[in-house]
Amino acid sequence: IQFERLRRLLCRSLEERFERLARGPPHAGQRALHSGTAAGCFYFVMNYIAGAPLDAWVRAAERRLDELLELFVEICDAVNAAHLRGIIHRDLKPSNIRVDAAGQPHVLDFGLAKVEGQSDLTHTGDVVGTLRFMAPERFKGAGDARSDVYSLGLTLYELLTLQPGFTAPDRAQLM
């Protein structure tokens, strides 16, 4: 009976977290079209954004510095909209940002996102995200909105230099 009660509490907590993520920030096409449960699994359906990942978009044509910086400001605005709603992305990187045919950026893949003030699904010490774009505190399982800002900085570096901020042949060296 205790186990069943714990399972119900955990499921309700997960469902609330998922619903809040599904509602997401109403910025840059990030709102879910539909969310719910099926066979005990939570899901949400997002808009399909036709376009190219940010890194491919930058490499596809010669871009002016002012064009890149204007686009980057829009990306920062989208991430800030998430932060203002208490959502920390935790996996910001060029491949999780898509630029549509009109040149509008869309921040995608909130699958690792954390809602501030709600219990985390990961445990202290768990490492989630893409190592090359992670803030140092994230390697210890900690982090907040500032960690996303760090990831944005590495994304900007890569956009401007067309090279990764950090390279290493294995995970241990990246950490």
Q: Catalytic residue among 77, 91, 100, 148, which?
A: 91
CB 147 within 8 A of CB 90: yes
CB 85 within 8 A of CB 24: yes
| Among candidate residues 61, 121, 58, the one with its CA nearest the CA of residue 88 | 121
For the chain, the C-alpha Rg in angstroms (whole number) is 17
Write out the H or E segment, with its range, that includes residue 107.
strand 105-107
* Catalytic status, residue 91: yes
CB 30 within 8 A of CB 107: yes
In one-letter notation, the amino acid at residue 58 is: V
Write the CB contacts of 66 (distance below 8 Å, at least 6 apart in sequence): none
Catalytic residue positions, numbered = 91
